[in-house]
Amino acid sequence: MKGPETLTRGLPITRRAVLKATSLLLAGSALGVDSASPPGTSPPKNNKVEYGTSTLPLGIRSRRVDNNNGLTMHVLEAGFDKPELPCVVFLHGFPELAYTWRHQLVAMANAGFHAIAPDLRGYGRSVVPPVSFDDDLFPYSPLNRVADVLGLARAFGHEKVVAVIGHDWGAPLAQWCALARPDVFQSVVSMSNPFYGSPTLPLNTANRPHSPGPEQDLEKDLAALLRPRKYYVGYYASREANEDMWHAPQGVHDLLRAWYHFKSADWKGNKPFPLKSATAAEFAKMPTYYVMDLKKGVSETMAAEMPTEKEIAACRWMTEADLRVYSGEYTRTGFQGGLNAYRFLTIPEYSTELNFLSGRKIEIPACFIGGASDWGVRQSPGAFEEMQDACTHPVSVHLVDGAGHSIPEEQPQKVNQLLTEFLRRAT
């Protein structure tokens, strides 16, 4: 970014001001983690938030905001006391909430940024009433979700966003924001999901007919293995997935406890490596949270990996109080709002929506942060190795030790450090 840019609320924010903010954050990034109270004490109750009143530090508040796209969104925000601050937007994944970013919100606010994290469409307090499988699917389309983020930023008065940062399903959403509106989103960070690039449309087919390669039926091939398996995406897109998870025999709380544990660095079986190809034999090498046993649903899969009481007590990155925020919200809403994103991967009539971005690269500074123990980094063969091709700027790439899939929560101090270093270079 050269010279002054109108970053936020119509006021000029200079490059020097943003650099000063990121320098402050780099110097004190650890302040964003458990900084509200001395060690060994409970944080003061935060009555300005709708959930997490006993866990979210003071300085974070909830707001209900009309996002200019037909949805009132629940947003956690920090750094809201000064209207001229540059904006950073955090986008969560599944099954997550705005709460996922609790450590980053505080850290960014301490440095002089207006940090906002919404419960995305279909999640948490942005849901009234619970989403049904038979509800209209269009609002969950990729481009409408980009409009959700763009409209929300403008609702807060921001014409520009310094960085859009996404984890899990929030990562491709952040990438779509960067591809579709690089005039608004000035840098992008993708966590866990590599930069996948835009769709590729065949060229010169009017003169030379396009010959597609042989079709591969991954689901059929997985089911035919000696240990019959299925890929989780197809199951998550099915009608029965929400019922299986929402009314799991072990309850939503224990379902999520096992889910977070199973995909984290705490589960010692998470030792990802590059897959050679997108074949059933290669996919079957992944843990059962991605390539499930054919006859098992999510509830049964997670029940088999429930951590012990000792392991639960030792988990400081996801305390029982933290988990109750997630389980309380998902018990109320169910999981269908988040599951709808998977349906777009399996319904042919929706698969062409992003074709208008064909051949386009991300033209803003980009950063990837993944957990060294996260299979999400490797589940699409070749994506991690090839993501530099998706961007015009070199991608700043980091794999963090001691982190699995929930990297913003498992290693918040390291994530805060990497974010600030990236912002200092990119802005």
Is the domain of 78 the same as that of 171?
Answer: yes
Is the domain of 18 the same as that of 166?
Answer: yes
Is the domain of 136 the same as that of 163?
Answer: yes
Is the domain of 328 the same as that of 377?
Answer: no
Is the domain of 17 the same as that of 117?
Answer: yes
Query: What pLDDT shows up at residue 223?
Result: 98
Mean pLDDT per block of 10 residues along the chain (427 residues) reads 34 44 45 47 88 96 98 97 92 98 94 94 97 96 97 97 98 98 98 94 85 80 98 97 98 98 98 97 98 98 98 98 98 98 89 90 97 97 96 97 98 96 86
Is the domain of 366 the same as that of 400?
Answer: yes
Q: Output the CA–CA distances (angstroms, integers) from residue 170 to 146, 163, 166, 306, in the order listed.
A: 11, 13, 4, 26
| Distance from C-alpha of 94 to C-alpha of 173, rounded to nearest angstrom | 12
Residues near 225 by beta carbon (within 8 Å), at least 6 away in sequence:
280, 281, 284
Q: Evaluate whether residue 206 is within a structural domain.
A: no
| Distance from C-alpha of 75 to C-alpha of 64, rounded to nearest angstrom | 6
Give the SS3 label for residue 27: helix
| Distance from C-alpha of 298 to C-alpha of 1, rounded to nearest angstrom | 45
Give the SS3 label for residue 393: coil
Q: What is the 3 state secondary structure string of 99-125? A: HHHHHHHHHHHHHCCEEEEECCCCCHH
DSSP-derived letter for residue 172 is: H
Q: What are phi and psi of 335, to 5 degrees?
A: -115, 0
Is the domain of 390 the same as that of 310?
Answer: no
Q: Output the CA–CA distances (angstroms, integers) from residue 166 to 137, 178, 291, in the order listed.
A: 22, 11, 24
| pLDDT per residue as tens digits for the range 32-75 | 444 444 445 677 899 999 999 999 999 999 999 999 999 999 99
Give the SS3 label for residue 247: coil
CATH (domain of 114) = 3.40.50.1820
| Distance from C-alpha of 291 to C-alpha of 422, rounded to nearest angstrom | 34
Residues 301 and 292 sit within 8 Å (Cβ to Cβ): yes
| pLDDT per residue as tens digits for the range 297-323 | 999 999 999 999 999 999 999 999 999
Query: What pLDDT shows up at residue 13?
Result: 41
Q: Evaluate whether residue 349 is within a structural domain.
A: no
Q: Evaluate whether residue 205 is within a structural domain.
A: no
Strand partners, 11: 8
With CA atoms as reference, report the closest residue to 336 among 189, 237, 210: 237
Of the three residues 276, 311, 341, the one that is the final residue of a domain is 341
Strands across the sheet containing 60-66: 60-66, 72-78, 114-118, 87-91, 163-167, 188-191, 366-371, 396-400
| Distance from C-alpha of 333 to C-alpha of 96, rounded to nearest angstrom | 12
Q: In total, how many domains does the chain have?
A: 2
Is the domain of 324 the same as that of 420?
Answer: no
| Distance from C-alpha of 345 to C-alpha of 323, rounded to nearest angstrom | 29
Is the domain of 39 the same as that of 151?
Answer: yes
Whole domain around residue 278: which residue ranges?
A: 218-341
Other residues' Cβ atoms within 10 Å of the Cβ of residue 258: 23
With CA atoms as reference, report the closest residue to 121 among 157, 69, 160: 69
Our CA angle for 104, 110, 116, nearest 5°, is 50
Identify the helix (H) or strand (E) that includes residue 12.
Answer: strand 11-13
Is the domain of 256 the same as that of 306?
Answer: yes
In the block, tokens 């964003």 appear at: 32
Is the domain of 140 the same as that of 66?
Answer: yes
Q: Evaluate whether residue 300 is within a structural domain.
A: yes
Our CA angle for 199, 89, 116, nearest 5°, is 150
Q: What are phi and psi of 378, to 5 degrees?
A: -110, 0
| Distance from C-alpha of 178 to C-alpha of 362, rounded to nearest angstrom | 6
